[in-house]
Amino acid sequence: MRLEDCKFIVTGAAQGMGRHFALRIAEAGGQVAAGDVLEAGLGALAEEARALRGKIHVQKLDVSSEGEVASFVAFAHQAMGGLNGLVNNAGILRDGLLVKKDRTSGEIVTLTRAQWQAVIDVNLTGATLVVRDTVAKMAATGSRGVIVNMSSIARHGNRGQSNYSAAKAALAANTKTWSQEFAPFGIRVGAVAPGMVKTPMTDGMNDKAREALVKMIPVGRIGEPEDIWVAVKFVIECDYFNGRTIDVDGGLSM
């Protein structure tokens, strides 16, 4: 698929990688329906896109809300005059060891159900709802296209990320599952699994932890959103790519 032909939903588009992806598609002449819970960020995105070849349509979207997902997909289809793809990018972190001993009190502390559920609701259930409703709309209208899931190298397992690793591993597995299920509709499914990338999410990490992680990256630097966009662009443009996950991590082993 050519970027200028895109009529794509991008979730988590108000900042970080999602914002970068939306702007890149619009720069190439495509259309984007950008969703996020951060409405101020969406407004700034729409303003920046005014001078681009393509167009970005914005509306608030909480992917963990089934009603908001259904409403957003309908909005996207109407605003763009069709729908042929998705960059399934929205995600959050609520890191913590499943079981640990408090250094001060010696008390055994566990990951809370709320920490677990918040990540599963957004990163897995929400991501699945967006895929389901997007593909249903595409199938109903006979639109061929591509779904790009954002997984993570944490899907292989990472200390302190039981919730995040579980969600991202499931997305990678379902990339294969959905590629088989959606093939009759002419819809491909691919995934990109970033390593450590400079975004507002990673900017919030503990400095010592971030420095230690960067030292483990063979290329010697943290990734940039553009590094990940190159892989997303490949999945969109290569019509023979399907059912696979691409790691873009600078060679990092977690």
For the stretch 124-150, what's the b/e string if a residue is b when 16 or more beta carbons lie within 10 angstroms of its beta carbon? bbbbbbbbebbbebbeeeebebbbbbb
Parallel, antiparallel, or unpaired for β 108-110 and 99-101? antiparallel
- Catalytic: which of 72, 164, 182, 229? 164
In whole angstroms, give the CA distance from residue 150 to residue 191.
6
Q: Which DSSP symbol is given to 118?
A: H
Are 3 and 26 a contacting pair, CB within 8 Å? no
Q: Confirm whether 164 is a catalytic residue.
A: yes
Torsion angle defined by CA atoms of residues 55, 58, 38 and 205, in that order, rounded to the nearest 10 degrees? -40
DSSP 193: E
CA-atom Rg of the chain in angstroms: 18
* Crossing angle of the two packed helices 127-141 and 66-80, in degrees rounded to 10: 40
Element holding 56 (H helix, E strand)? strand 55-60
Tokens 């055994």, residue located: 108
Q: Annotated catalytic sites, by residue? A: 164
